[in-house]
Structure 1
Amino acid sequence: MNGLRTLLFKLVFYTVSVPIVMVTPISALFGRQAIIRNTHFWTRFHHWATRNILGINQHIEGTQFSDGPVIYAAKHQAMYETLELGRMLKTPAIVMKQELASIPVWGWAARRYGVIVVDREASAGALRRMLREARVALAEGRSILIFPEGTRVAPGEQPPLRAGFAGLYQMLKIPVVPIAIDSGLVWPKHGPKKPGVVTFRFGNIIPPGLPRAEAEARVHAAINALDVPKAE
């Protein structure tokens, strides 16, 4: 049954997604608000499809939003939360790896949306560019969404935070809202998706100005609050 659900979801979601993605570069020609509206439609459709076809629901704990721009630092176990957090958090500027932002046409549209490109080489020039793009987002009143472990991981995996998070935290001097997510339990990297509930736990706000080691330790613990480390 789970295999059939997954197959149906892929058929429906990607059939609808293809024209949406193809239209995105065209909508980008009419300004950021047009592309944001297009993105909102896509994320709402994803939410509908995952709930009604896959049987995946959500449980949200803690405070979702802040009075002003913050850095949302989230666990990343599946594609699921990439779209769902974009829907929940009202068009945050998402930190995206260079490889995705370099995809022809789509990458240009993503930049028009206002993503923040991060280079895994973590050179001084790449960090300056990332900070410049982040400050543009803050000037527009947008929060920033980053997956600070740098990549999607399986349940039980808790890699250290990448340097990009510390750079944003230290230079932007704004609060951090950590988000623990357990999506990997119903959305494995391989194999069929499973019906169930994904928990989004918004942790306590971490104030700006903490020493790097303390800020990283607090974020790491908070985003892994729903996770159980793999046995050695």
Structure 2
Amino acid sequence: MKLWHVWQRDFLLMIVRFVAGAYPVWHQTPPCGSQKIYFSNHTSHIDTLAILAALPRDVRAVVRPVAARDYWDSSTLKRHIAQKLLNVVLIDRHRESGGDPLDPVRAALAQGHSIIIFPEGTRGADALPQPFRSGLFHLASEFPTVPLAPVYLENLQRIMPKGAIWPVPLICKVHFGANETRDEQEGKASFLARMQDAIVALAPHRSAG
């Protein structure tokens, strides 16, 4: 990444921290630059930016968010942010190209990158995640040595609710949980339910119980 683009990225993430907070909460030791699959609840268009803003700068440099091509390729500004600043892995969620939407994600993981993925597949309005789609299961099965890192975004569904143009002045915390793995004998339904539970367990009102 060019130095000018690094400065632009850091300035963008500084704005996110100013507006939403994006304060990291480590439920294990802060991550190093080793490869991981970060998976999170999905509540707003700034979810990716909040996670990147919360990660240490050296870790952020090796992480590639996974996002929908139809959203990030819809304007020159969004395309610039996705391609030049965030190094986004763009997927064709509507299968217009006829290929498997996960193929670009597989390629990024095979190259040694960490990724950020939202297993719900679409944004939700609730504090807790909806049931997960199968993508995370397939990636965990095909890349069994890459740790799975659950992330819970607290309050973003209230700061930037679906359809909102301006953020509500609240504080977002980004909770990072302990690494998870998939057991070789674990089926898809039980694995996805367990990964969903790993995110739910990071929600403050659930953790306190």
Is 1:62 aligned to 2:27, yes or no?
yes
Question: Which position in structure 1 is the counterpart of 2:180?
Answer: 206
- Offset from partner CA, 1:176-201 (integer Å, 9 cap, x none): 01012222464151586143x43322
Question: Which position in structure 2 is the counterpart of 1:42?
Answer: 12
CA distance in 1, matches of 2:22, 2:122: 23
RMSD across aligned positions (CA): 3.1
Equivalent residue for 1:193, pick from 135, 148, 168:
168
CA contact (8 A) 2:44 2:157 kept: no
SS in 1 for 2:172: strand
Question: Which position in structure 2 is the counterpart of 1:73?
Answer: 39
Give the deviation of 1:99 after TM superposition.
Answer: 0.8
CA distance in 2, matches of 1:192, 1:176: 30
Q: How is 1:165-176 mapped onto 2 (pairs within 5 angstroms)? A: 165-173=136-144, 174-176=146-148
Distance 1:42 1:59, change over 3 A: closer
SS in 2 for 1:220: helix
Distance 1:154 1:228, change over 3 A: farther
SS in 1 for 2:101: helix
Identity in percent: 20
161-170 vs 94-103, which moves further: 161-170
Equivalent residue for 1:82, pick from 40, 48, 51:
48
CA distance in 2, matches of 1:119, 1:204: 30
CA contact (8 A) 1:94 1:146 kept: yes
Equivalent residue for 1:223, pick from 182, 192, 199:
199
- TM-score, normalisation: structure 2: 0.73
CA contact (8 A) 2:92 2:101 kept: yes
CA distance in 2, matches of 1:186, 1:101: 22
CA distance in 2, matches of 1:114, 1:36: 11
CA contact (8 A) 1:101 1:108 kept: yes
One-letter amino acid of the structure 2 residue matched with residue 114 of structure 1 = N
- TM-score, normalisation: structure 1: 0.67
Residue segments in structure 1 that go unaligned for 5+ positions in a row: 1-30
- Offset from partner CA, 1:92-127 (integer Å, 9 cap, x none): 200001212322434553234421122224665333
Give the deviation of 1:228 after TM superposition.
Answer: 8.0
Q: How is 1:88-167 mapped onto 2 (pairs within 5 angstroms)? A: 88-89=54-55, 90-91=60-61, 92-106=63-77, 108-109=79-80, 110-112=82-84, 113-121=86-94, 124-136=99-111, 138=112, 142-156=113-127, 158-167=129-138
- Offset from partner CA, 1:207-228 (integer Å, 9 cap, x none): 2554333432221112223288
- Offset from partner CA, 1:54-96 (integer Å, 9 cap, x none): xx57361413414511011111223443212112221320000
Q: Which has the larger radius of gyration?
A: 1
Distance 1:84 1:158, change over 3 A: closer
CA contact (8 A) 1:206 1:215 kept: no
CA contact (8 A) 1:131 1:168 kept: yes
